[in-house]
């Protein structure tokens, strides 16, 4: 079974991510459908426990703004780990559209991005099997290598200068 | 100067630990080259022709004597005993060992220095005016705003993987000494009719392959909205800047493709959603930031008698008078001045300093200028708060250390990138060309007669030597494996900024001093009383230069 980092622990991941051009009938397993598919079929996809939506880095989160309350699972794809668009998309999903379900980072992410990813609002991470190899270090080293952050972000609504003012 | 508090110190300490872990993992083969690349770049380590180079931030150009001594120690212990000041007010080491960089960063952290985001596709060290806080033409000191931006941009979680590097400059003066028009974002601090502070915001300026002058997208942004507005710009750029072609990935390309009006609208729309959010600056944070940049305790000096003494001294020491004319700058406080320490002696790469020179600079700063030094965009240093009465003594001391070359602002005070001697991207060498020019134009009286001329040299079109904004720009080009040099005229990064225009076909390195001499002869023939080279060029255009140069060459 593939694995997933959720919070601080590695858990089984039974979710499938359907291709961007997917059409046809859904599989039996829980799955993330691509945005286009969701927009075309959302009336028939109202089982939020097993159907989520994934966005690619060039897609507009605005398009699901109206559906946020109907969804429990969202995913954002990183085509390469240096494609930083997903960070902004996550912040919009969390801060602007107030999504409270699971926001999963999929695609080519690496451990050393976990800190920024989680600050932008991701709380589940589909790391490659190699990246999940946990022998040497705890994920805590990657999720929170810093005890100080200057900015407001998805998991810290106040910038440091306001926190300092207390 | 800004003093790190416990939060800042904790953060850079944790950054060192993080990078040490990343380096260990890389050396143990647990992180691939491709993944390590942006991690090391965002800690200032980039690989050049000979070895890794480490670029160390000097935020908006302010560095203390203590920090300079640590830099001297680091160059001795980890490098070859010298360092290089860059055109973005930073300093770099040319020969550090990759394995030792975590130790270097730890030594820097001990004196509140770091190299966070000094390279890579992220928000870089913010730059400013080297005369911030001391020049009489200042509307508002830009440094508190720079420090607010420094903190905001440091480890910003959303903007660490931008399409390309991103540079912000801030000026607070009537005359733009921070080159804000050739930055990704340029900010001019100003006051509106109600005496409220705000910013004029420019975007999309930049040099490199497609040079562009920044365009105004907001005439007056009230100061408290600074960070929410910057976030809006960065978010629009992060989402829509091109990522398919690294040469088209800078924000200037996006602004050009959309037009400044459309770009401004998108930013406005994004900003309206965040306006008033907690990132809006409070009066208290602004007040706190300003408290770090109050004036030092200036003495009450009798400027008139100081001046008389200096006149007497200059009468006996002609060289002192010349040095003072060129290298000393007026100060807003009577009896004080700012002094350039030139890093452009003939035969040394512009901006290079040795370990012992770094220590000597620290000593001069301790003795004459409240232990602070400023790094200029022209790769020189400035002691910002020197008593006029100390000038003769300081001049002698600077001469002994090789900092008194009396050529600030003249033709030979040039900006020059490391070029083919150091840089793997170079088309041509640049340092030997600079040296040949310095050797040819060694007559000070002639240089003074020519007056202010900015000569900038880049070894390739990446334009690290800012050749587009040199009054005279020299660009190294490669033609079938041979090194050639193209000349551009009429560039300027100041006030009415302009990009230079190509004079014509390029030249061999050995022809450059002669060609320059002919260009200067035309200026001398054609100038009207009081005109600088740039003024004359703007009046007569490139045509007369072109005709003369190529007619003779043919
Ligand atoms: S301008 Fe070109 S040659 Fe010069 S330092 Fe930059 S990349 Fe290297």
Reported as a pLDDT band with limits 50, 70 and 90, residue B424 is confident
pLDDT at B551: 84
pLDDT at B301: 92
pLDDT at A135: 59
**pTM attached to this predicted model:** 0.96
Q: For residue range B299-357, list pLDDT tens digits in order.
A: 999 999 999 999 999 999 999 999 999 999 999 999 999 999 999 999 889 999 999 99
Domains, in order of start, for chain B: 6-109 (3.90.480.20), 134-291 (3.30.413.10), 303-401 (3.90.480.20), 415-553 (3.30.413.10)
Reported as a pLDDT band with limits 50, 70 and 90, residue B423 is confident
Q: Is the pLDDT of residue B469 over 90?
A: yes
Fold classified for A3-165: TIM Barrel (3.20.20)
Q: For residue range A13-29, list pLDDT tens digits in order.
A: 999 999 999 999 999 99
- Contact between chains at B158 and A164 (C-beta distance less than 8 A): no
Q: Is the pLDDT of residue A114 over 60?
A: yes
Q: Is the pLDDT of residue A117 over 60?
A: yes
pLDDT at B7: 97
* CB neighbour class for B28 (10 Å; exposed up to 12, middle 13-18, buried from 19): exposed
Mean pLDDT of chain B: 95
Who lines ligand 1 at CB under 6 A?
B 417-419, 423, 425-426, 458-460, 462-465
Distance, CA of A32 to CA of B292 (rounded, Å):
51
Residue B192 CB neighbours (<10 A): 11
pLDDT at B50: 63
pLDDT at B495: 81
- Contact between chains at B285 and A136 (C-beta distance less than 8 A): no
Distance, CA of B516 to CA of B189 (rounded, Å):
38
pLDDT at B49: 65
The percentage of chain B sitting over the pLDDT mark of 90, rounded to a whole number, equals 92
pLDDT at B175: 85
Distance, CA of A120 to CA of A94 (rounded, Å):
8
CB–CB of A90/A78 below 8 Å? no
Q: What is the dihedral of CA A75, A81, A85, A90, to 10 degrees?
A: 40
Hey, what are B101's tokens? 């960089």
Q: Which of B457, B443, B364 is nearest to B407 (CA)?
A: B443
Token pair 């699971």 is at which residue? Answer: A102
Give me Rg for the CA atoms of chain B.
23
pLDDT at A166: 61
pLDDT at A128: 86
Ligand 1: distance of its center to the CA of A15 in Å? 48
Ordered alpha helix ranges (H), B42-183: 65-78, 101-109, 143-153
Q: Is the pLDDT of residue B97 over 90?
A: yes
Kindly state the average pLDDT of the residues A131-159: 88
CB–CB of B438/B412 below 8 Å? yes
Q: For residue range B33-58, list pLDDT tens digits in order.
A: 999 999 999 999 998 766 789 999 99
CA angle, A14 then A17 then A18, to 5°: 130
Kindly state the average pLDDT of the residues B7-24: 97
Q: For residue range B270-308, list pLDDT tens digits in order.
A: 999 999 999 999 999 999 999 999 989 999 999 999 999
> Taking CB atoms and an 8 Å cutoff, what residues of chain B touch A120?
157-158
* Pocket residue to mutate for ligand 1, from B55, B85, B211, B418, most atoms within 8 A of Cβ: B418
CB–CB of A15/A1 below 8 Å? no
> Taking CB atoms and an 8 Å cutoff, what residues of chain B touch A146?
11, 14-15, 18, 155
Q: Is the pLDDT of residue B552 over 70?
A: no
pLDDT at B52: 85
Where do the domains of chain A lie?
3-165
Reported as a pLDDT band with limits 50, 70 and 90, residue A132 is confident
Three-class DSSP category at A135? coil
Least confident stretch, A20-29, B264-273, B545-554: B545-554
Residue-by-residue DSSP string for A58-96 = TS-GGGGGGGGGG-SEEEEEESSTT-THHHHHHHIIIII
Q: Is the pLDDT of residue B452 over 80?
A: yes
Q: Is the pLDDT of residue B172 over 90?
A: yes
């Amino acid at each position: 079974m593939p694995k997933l980092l959720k919070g601080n622990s590695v858990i089984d991941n039974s979710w499938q991510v359907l291709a961007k051009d997917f059409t046809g009938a859904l599989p039996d397993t829980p799955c993330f459908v691509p945005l286009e598919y969701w927009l075309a079929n959302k009336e028939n996809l109202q089982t939020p426990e097993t159907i989520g939506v994934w966005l690619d880095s060039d897609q507009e989160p605005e398009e699901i703004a109206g559906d946020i309350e109907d969804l429990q699972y969202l995913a954002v794809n990183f085509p390469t780990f240096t494609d930083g668009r997903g960070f902004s998309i996550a912040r919009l999903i969390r801060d602007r559209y107030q999504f409270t379900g699971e926001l999963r980072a999929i695609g080519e992410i690496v451990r050393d991005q976990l800190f920024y990813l989680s600050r932008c609002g991701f709380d589940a991470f589909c790391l490659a099997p190699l990246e999940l190899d946990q022998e040497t270090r705890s994920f805590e080293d990657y999720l929170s290598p810093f005890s100080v952050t200057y900015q407001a972000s998805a998991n810290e609504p106040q910038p440091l200068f306001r926190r300092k003012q207390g | 100067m800004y003093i790190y508090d416990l939060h800042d110190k904790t953060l850079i300490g944790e950054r060192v630990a993080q990078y040490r872990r990343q380096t260990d993992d890389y050396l143990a083969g647990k992180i691939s080259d491709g993944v390590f690349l942006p991690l090391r770049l965002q800690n200032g380590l980039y690989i050049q022709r000979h070895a890794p180079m480490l670029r160390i931030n000097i935020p908006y150009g302010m560095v203390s004597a203590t920090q300079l001594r640590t830099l001297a120690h680091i160059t001795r212990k980890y490098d070859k005993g010298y360092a290089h000041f860059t055109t973005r007010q930073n300093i770099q080491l040319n020969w550090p060992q990759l394995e030792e960089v975590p130790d270097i960063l730890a030594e820097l952290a001990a004196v509140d220095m770091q190299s966070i985001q000094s390279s890579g596709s992220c928000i870089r060290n913010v730059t400013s005016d080297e005369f911030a806080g001391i020049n009489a033409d200042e509307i508002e000191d830009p440094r508190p705003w720079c420090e607010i931006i420094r903190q905001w941009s440091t480890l910003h979680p959303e903007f660490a993987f931008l399409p390309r590097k991103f540079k912000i400059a801030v000026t607070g003066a009537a005359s733009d000494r921070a080159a804000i028009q050739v930055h990704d974002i340029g900010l001019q601090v100003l006051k509106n009719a109600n005496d409220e502070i705000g910013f004029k915001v420019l975007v999309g300026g930049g040099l490199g392959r497609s040079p562009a002058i920044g365009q105004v997208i907001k005439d007056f942004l009230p100061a408290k909205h600074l960070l929410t507005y910057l976030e809006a710009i960065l978010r629009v750029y992060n989402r829509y800047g091109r990522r398919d072609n690294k040469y088209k990935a800078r924000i200037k390309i996006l602004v050009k493709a959309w037009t400044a009006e459309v770009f401004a609208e998108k930013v406005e729309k994004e900003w309206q959603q965040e306006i008033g959010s907690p990132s809006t600056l409070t009066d208290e944070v602004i007040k706190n930031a300003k408290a770090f940049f109050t004036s030092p305790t200036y003495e009450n000096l009798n400027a008139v008698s100081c001046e008389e003494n200096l006149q007497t001294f200059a009468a006996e020491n002609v060289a002192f008078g010349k040095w003072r004319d060129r290298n000393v700058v007026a100060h807003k406080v009577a009896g004080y001045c700012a002094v350039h320490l030139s890093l452009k002696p003939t035969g040394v790469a512009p901006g290079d300093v040795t370990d012992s020179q770094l220590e000597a600079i620290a000593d001069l700063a301790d003795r004459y200028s409240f232990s602070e030094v400023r790094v200029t965009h022209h790769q020189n240093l400035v002691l910002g708060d020197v008593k006029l009465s100390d000038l003769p003594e300081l001049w002698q001391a600077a001469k002994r250390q090789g900092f008194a070359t009396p050529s600030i602002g003249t033709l030979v005070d040039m900006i020059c990138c490391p070029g083919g001697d150091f840089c793997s991207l170079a088309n041509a060498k640049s340092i030997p060309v600079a040296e040949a020019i310095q050797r040819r134009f060694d007559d000070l009286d002639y240089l003074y007669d020519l007056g202010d001329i900015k000569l900038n040299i880049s070894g390739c079109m990446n334009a690290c030597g800012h050749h587009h904004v040199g009054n005279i720009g020299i660009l190294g080009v490669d033609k079938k494996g041979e090194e050639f040099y193209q000349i551009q005229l009429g560039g300027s990064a100041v006030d009415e900024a302009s990009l230079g225009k190509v004079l014509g076909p390029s030249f061999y390195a050995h022809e450059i001093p002669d060609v320059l001499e002919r260009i200067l002869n035309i200026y001398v023939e054609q100038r009207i009383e009081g005109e600088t080279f740039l003024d004359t060029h703007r009046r007569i255009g490139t045509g007369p230069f072109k005709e003369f140069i190529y007619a003779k060459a043919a």
